[in-house]
Amino acid sequence: MCDMPGRTPTLCDSPNTTTNTVTPSTNNKILWDDIIGEAEGLRTPDCCWNCSIRCYDGTRRCCYVFLVILLAPFIAFCNGCQFACLAFNQVWCVGPCLRLWKINFATIKKFWEACLYAVCSPLYETIGLIFSKAYVRYQRVPDGNPPDTSNFFNV
């Protein structure tokens, strides 16, 4: 039961024979050794240590069962209502609203495409024609004296 070094099983120890059909989540496993830690040089007698572990485990299990019996139906009811409201909201509110936005933005997109095509297309076509007449010459500049730049445009 206890994985502390130096502890040997005694007559008080018994294997845990209960099985849980539901796999518990890893963030709620609170074991005795996680809570109680003895300082160096201190040692609780084995029988007292094992009795304390059994008391802790028994109290934890009984309290859990009591709370489950007492509160689980109410919490399940609240969770059912919450998820039903979430599903209702997604199906009847968010979905149609999203479709509405898609339809409206499709119209706005067509409007802006027409405006940009009417304004920008002639402008960019003219700029393209201007630059299509430009002549670019690639040549290696000789090392040494800087070249005479009065005859051509350097970029």
pLDDT in tens, 47-105: 888 898 899 899 999 999 999 999 999 999 999 999 999 999 999 999 999 999 999 99
Report yes or no on 120 lying in a domain: yes
Question: Against a cut of 0.75, is the pTM above it?
Answer: no
Report yes or no on 56 lying in a domain: yes
How many structural domains is the chain composed of? 1
Q: What span, in angstroms and rounded, lies between the C-alpha atoms of 112 and 64?
A: 63
Q: Which two tokens stand for residue 86?
A: 């979430």
pLDDT at residue 22 above 60? no
| Other beta carbons less than 10 A from residue 67's beta carbon | 11
pLDDT of residue 14: 45
Residue range of the domain that includes 94: 28-132
DSSP string across 70-114: HHHHHHHHHHHHHHHHHHHHIIIIIHHHHHHHHHHHHHHHHHHHH
Tell me the C-alpha to C-alpha distance, in Å, between residue 130 and each of 123, 137, 151: 11, 17, 21
Report yes or no on 1 lying in a domain: no
pLDDT of residue 23: 57
Whole-number percent of the chain with pLDDT over 90: 47
Cβ neighbours of residue 54 closer than 8 Å, sequence gap 6 or more: 12
Report yes or no on 148 lying in a domain: no
Report yes or no on 75 lying in a domain: yes
Report yes or no on 40 lying in a domain: yes
